[in-house]
């Protein structure tokens, strides 16, 4: 499941709230972060429900919005999509690009070396 940047922001609010919250707190957080109105947040939540990413407990008053997917599941989908689109499925090419363009910090390079050593690559 892929999200727009704005949908990702809404999901981050749900995940950050332990997976679920009411519209009010979500709208407050996104008003502060993005300048959005309550209506805008509600629109995104209902769009995300249609995508299967959010479930809405309409029996609760006020309604409760729950993440129906985990952040890890969504991040994995995004990684696979990036690999397929930009690197023809090659994780090695992606990592090489990060290393070559200097995107990795010294700590990240050390962690990568450690992981590769553990894998006996």
pLDDT at 76: 94
DSSP-derived 3-state class of residue 105: coil
Backbone phi and psi for residue 72, each to the nearest 5 degrees, phi listed first = -65, -40
Strand partners, 4: none
Per the CB < 8 A criterion, the answer to whether 67 and 12 are in contact is: no
pLDDT digits (tens), the chain, 121 positions = 889 999 999 999 999 999 999 999 999 999 999 999 999 999 999 999 999 999 999 999 999 999 999 999 999 999 999 999 999 999 889 888 988 898 889 899 899 889 989 987 5
| Number of other CB atoms surrounding residue 70 within 10 Å | 12
How much is the pLDDT for 104? 87
What's the pLDDT at 121?
55
Q: Which domains occur in the chain, in start order?
A: 5-67 (1.10.10.10), 90-121 (no CATH)
């Amino acid at each position: 499941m892929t999200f727009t940047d704005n949908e990702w922001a809404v999901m981050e609010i749900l995940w950050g709230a332990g997976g679920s919250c009411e519209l009010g707190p979500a709208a407050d957080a996104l008003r502060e972060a993005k300048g959005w109105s309550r209506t805008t947040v509600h629109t995104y939540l209902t769009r995300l429900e249609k995508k299967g990413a959010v479930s809405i407990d309409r029996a609760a008053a006020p309604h409760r919005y729950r993440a129906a997917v985990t952040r890890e599941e969504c991040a994995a989908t995004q990684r696979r999509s990036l690999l397929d689109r930009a690197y023809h499925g090659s994780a090695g090419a992606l990592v090489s690009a990060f290393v070559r363009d200097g995107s990795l910090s010294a700590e990240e390079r050390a962690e990568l070396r450690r992981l590769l050593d553990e894998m006996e690559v």
